[in-house]
Amino acid sequence: MSQAEAQPGGRGNSTDHVRRHNLAVVLGLVHRSQGISRSQLTKLTGLNRSTVAALVGELVERRLVLEVDADVRNQVGRPSPVVKPGPLAVAIAINPEIDAITIAVVGLGGEVLKRIRYATGHEPTAREAVNICAAVIEGLRGELETSHRVVGIGLAIPGLVRSLDGVVRLAPHLGWVDEPVAEMLAEATGYSVVAGNDARLGTLAESTFGAGRDLTDFIYLNGGASGIGGGVIAGGQALTGAAGYAGELGHTLVNSQGIVCHCGGIGCLETEVSRSPLLALVGLTDADADELENALLASESADVRAEVHRQLDFLGVALRNAINTLNPEAVLLGGFLGSLYAVAPAHLNALVAHQPLRASREGVTIGRAALGSNLLMIGAAELAFGAVLADPAAF
Ligand SMILES: [Zn+2]
């Protein structure tokens, strides 16, 4: 932000415009940092101290942030108050998958306040998913409306979503084609609804709050019940491609002798690396990401270990291609891919370390997405918070 933009310079509408813009800048910094001192805000915005104090005061009045006394230990001089996200504004985040629908209440700063997993036992139709979400939200409504204000609903969809109106163009594992899910859910709940691709929202969350927050170039790959999705941050920006569908690393070729994928291709990463054989080997039929990981880590079965290594070998092929194409500083693994890595980290590290093009892989670290099983909830909530973050004065 330039100084000219930041300083109130005009009158009437333009002063108001500058104030609203500055409110958004300050709230954005508090949101992303999850808590920041007033003196840091002054430094980062380039605004003077009294302007920052007034902006924070207005955000406190709107209950979007709260100010707490700084921890005075290890401080020299007068401590600056710490500005934190306030508890009033919440988003409802939803992720439908083939066997369950997860619904969460998320506060500013990416704080997951409540998470409910509703097992469906089968692929829900769009109508079923909307009905289940509406019923769960109805059950929460009393609590939500006494203690919070709901800014809206964010949907993380395992498929291709038209961002303009939240129509799910294709969610192959759910069998949804051209379903106006955002509109249906808005009608059923009375809240505004925004929808996006799950992996892209995971990348956004990881980049805003997680293991990617200090990285400008990374690949994120998430494994869920509905396959493998990905996203790429390149030069600090999300790589979108011409129509917004970049990052479909789950459908890159890893085995030319492999089976046919639902996308029509042969030997895609997500046909070779998938959750269901892992669940079967540890004797689970239905489990969330944490339960599956605990079962994999606890297992001493040779069959489990062999399957984990087989899947990591194919993941290594995909990573070799992606690393040589994108030259990232890190690869972040989420969902069951993070669990595979947790079971045998040395196996995957060795595959990446021994790929032939040394210059590309040098310095690449493999890591786990930091936001764990809350990742998609936080990403979906980011969508719903978009309007408040862009113009807090309208809240
Ligand atoms: Zn495919």
Q: Could you report the per-residue pLDDT of 340-387, keeping only the tens digit for each? A: 999 999 999 999 988 767 777 778 999 999 987 788 999 999 999 999
- Say what the pLDDT of residue 10 is: 42
Say yes or no to pLDDT of 77 above 90: no
Q: Give me the mean pLDDT over the 133-142 stretch.
A: 96
Interatomic CA distance for residues 353 and 364, integer angstroms: 9
At 3, the pLDDT band (50, 70, 90 cuts) reads very low
3-class state of residue 63 by DSSP: coil
35 CA to centre of ligand 1 in angstroms: 41
**Distance from the CA of 261 to the center of ligand 1, in angstroms?**
5
User: What predicted TM-score, i.e. pTM, was given to this entire model?
Assistant: 0.81
C-alpha of residue 263 to centroid of ligand 1, in Å: 4
Q: How far is the CA of 358 from the centre of ligand 1 (A)?
A: 29
Q: Quote the ligand 1 centre to 256 CA distance (angstroms).
A: 12
Compute, in angstroms, the gap from residue 110 CA to the centroid of ligand 1: 32
Q: How far is the CA of 287 from the centre of ligand 1 (A)?
A: 24
| Ligand 1 center from residue 64 Cα (angstroms) | 43
Higher pLDDT, 83 or 237: 83
- pLDDT at res. 74: 58
Centre of ligand 1 to C-alpha 318, Å, is: 13
Q: How confident is the model at residue 285 (pLDDT cuts 50, 70, 90)?
A: confident
The predicted structure's pLDDT at residue 263:
83
Q: Strand pairing partners for 115?
A: 104
Q: By percentage, how much of the chain surpasses pLDDT 90?
A: 73
Asked whether 63 and 356 are in contact (CB, 8 A), the reply is no
CA distances from residue 24 to 6, 12, 27, 29, 258 in whole angstroms, order as listed: 11, 19, 5, 9, 50
Give the C-alpha separation, 335 to 54, whole Å. 42
Instruction: Give 139-177 pLDDT, tens digit per residue.
Output: 999 999 999 999 999 999 988 888 788 899 989 889 999
